Structure 1
Amino acid sequence: MGAKYPPIQGGGSLILAWQIKGRRVLIVGGGEVAAGRIVNVLNADAKVIVVAPFDGLNDEVAYRVAQGQVEHVNRKFEPSDLDNIDMVLTAVDDPEASSQIYRLCKERRIAANIADVPPECDFYFGSVHRDGPLQIMVSTNGNGPRLANIVRRQIAKNLPDNIGAAITKVGQLRRKLRKIAPEEEEGPKRMKWMSKVCDSWSLEDLVDMEEKDMEALLGYYHPNAVPSLDNLRLGEEPGIYQFDGSFGWM
């Protein structure tokens, strides 16, 4: 009976898209690893505080400081730096100091990542492919960061060049759909109809979709139909072309 359920593999991580917009992220260190961490959290719209002596900043971190992209504290770490902090990332060549910071974070229940010390990480940074709103992360659970990069590049090589633009258009269509069918009880129908659109239109169709096409396509929502892009532009009446989600047009 249990064969129909997915097996439990164990030993993995719960991979999440962590929303840290506006959160205060402390980065201890100013070298190459810190520079990479800064990019990661700035891309997630976090507020970044870097604690490190100025003479220890590499060129990229110094640039972020000069541009006002991050707040800089020009000294070594002190426990008070953890006040009002939501996340901590350490990138210093001092294992003892890093472990002390991790212990302080545990006492304050602050999520922390200690660079290159997997047992002292509440989360890992995977290798990420980014194309507009699309983010794909490959994680080896701390076992092989270099291998994660190789796998990520292989995945990215097999993705269509325009997939990010297609996703952007789908997001625009979803927001428009919510305006014409905002009721909570419409939620399941909205999800199923958007699934039909994504299943029946190619990525090229989604990229090619214009504002006027979205407005016309939304006219097919209430009759629960999805025309092809060509038929949509020919002005076919809503309800003529029905997509069953698996076998094409009916």
Structure 2
Amino acid sequence: MAHDYPEVEGGGSLILAWQVRNKKVLVIGGGEVAAGRILNLLNADAKVTLISPRDGLNDEVAYRVEQKQVEYMDKKFEPTDLDDPAITMVLTAIDDPEASTTIWKLCKEKRIAANIADVPPECDFYFGSVYRDGPLQIMVSTNGNGPKMANIVRRRIESTLPPTMGDAIKKVGALRKRLRQVAPGNEEGPKRMKWMSKVCVQWSLEDLCEMQPEDMDTLLESYEPDEVPTFTKVRSGKDDWEWQFDGSFGWACVV
């Protein structure tokens, strides 16, 4: 019997949004690649520990150290540096393949997820090219095949997105929080998800960007009957037909 199910396409990666907020991540190396890794980690609110001789720091990494945005250890990596049980991830960015492989093997022994820069076989995960607009994050990955191509594809996607996308998502997030206050029970979960989906589909991006707290309050009054009024009706308090015709043309009465 034939089924309309997606075909399995192997060879990919499981792309996840890894939450590293307040978790300790060890970065080994202080050059340009390390600078990009460190910025990504700081944007995700990770606690970054950096190991690198000071003469190996580029200007950006040196700035992060100076601003105390990272915990810095001015030295070369030693195996005992992995003894801290709080370390949840290791990123290496050093120009020494043999040392990188040694670190990889040590991480495997300690079951620590690791990324060895520019050595795909020695990576538990890859970094992609990321587009960021407030809460919106889009990552393009080539599974280690072509980092530059990932950047080109990401820029193409970025060029097609409206500049208001991030603001609209922030407003939707605020509406979801208010909805949970209106309908907090677990049993309301399916209805909440369905109703929020209808709002996102039926309201335009421009509507969502313009939405104010008072509009959210009015909109939430329609949650219980499971309806989604238009933005025009929410803002004006009138039905669409009333809004479209305000009587400004007057009436003619022929006797």
Q: Within 2, Cα distance between the matches of 1:26 and 1:68?
A: 15
Q: Within 2, Cα distance between the matches of 1:117 and 1:3?
A: 40
Superposed, 1:46-65 pairs within 5 Å as 46-65=46-65
One-letter amino acid matched to 1:169: K
One-letter amino acid matched to 2:81: D
Of residues 82-91 and 169-178 in structure 1, the stretch that sits farther from structure 2 once superposed is: 82-91
Structure 2 equivalent of residue 207 of structure 1: 209
Q: Within 1, Cα distance between the matches of 2:96 and 2:109?
A: 20
Of 108, 118, 123 in structure 2, the residue corresponding to residue 121 of structure 1 is 123
Residue 35 of structure 1 deviates from its aligned partner by 0.2
Residue 235 of structure 1 deviates from its aligned partner by 1.4
Cα deviation 1:163-194 (Å, max 9, x = unaligned): 00000000000000001100000000000000
Percentage identity across paired residues of the two chains = 68
**Counterpart secondary structure, 2:49:** strand
Whether 2:177 is the aligned partner of 1:187: answer no
Cα deviation 1:73-129 (Å, max 9, x = unaligned): 000001121122110000000000000000000000000000000000000000000
Superposed, 1:1-250 pairs within 5 Å as 1-82=1-82, 83-84=84-85, 85-236=87-238
One-letter amino acid matched to 2:195: W
Q: Within 2, Cα distance between the matches of 1:88 and 1:200?
A: 44
Residue 233 of structure 1 deviates from its aligned partner by 1.5
Question: Which runs of at least 4 in structure 1 moved beyond 2 Å after TM superposition?
Answer: none
One-letter amino acid matched to 1:183: G
One-letter amino acid matched to 2:202: S
One-letter amino acid matched to 1:233: R
One-letter amino acid matched to 1:194: M
One-letter amino acid matched to 1:73: M
Give the alignment's TM-score, normalised by structure 1.
0.93
Gaps of 5+ in 2: 240-255
**Counterpart secondary structure, 1:86:** strand
Residue 47 of structure 1 deviates from its aligned partner by 0.2
What's the Cα RMSD here? 0.9
Q: Within 2, Cα distance between the matches of 1:52 and 1:151?
A: 33
Q: Within 1, Cα distance between the matches of 2:60 and 2:81?
A: 22
Q: Within 1, Cα distance between the matches of 2:220 and 2:110?
A: 49
**Counterpart secondary structure, 2:222:** coil
Residue 2 of structure 1 deviates from its aligned partner by 4.2
Gaps of 5+ in 1: 238-250
Give the alignment's TM-score, normalised by structure 2.
0.92
**Counterpart secondary structure, 1:10:** coil
Cα deviation 1:32-64 (Å, max 9, x = unaligned): 000000001111100000000011101100000
| Residues 2 and 105 of structure 1: CA distance in aligned 2, closer, same or farther (over 3 Å) | farther
Aligned residues: 237
Q: Within 2, Cα distance between the matches of 1:196 and 1:229?
A: 13
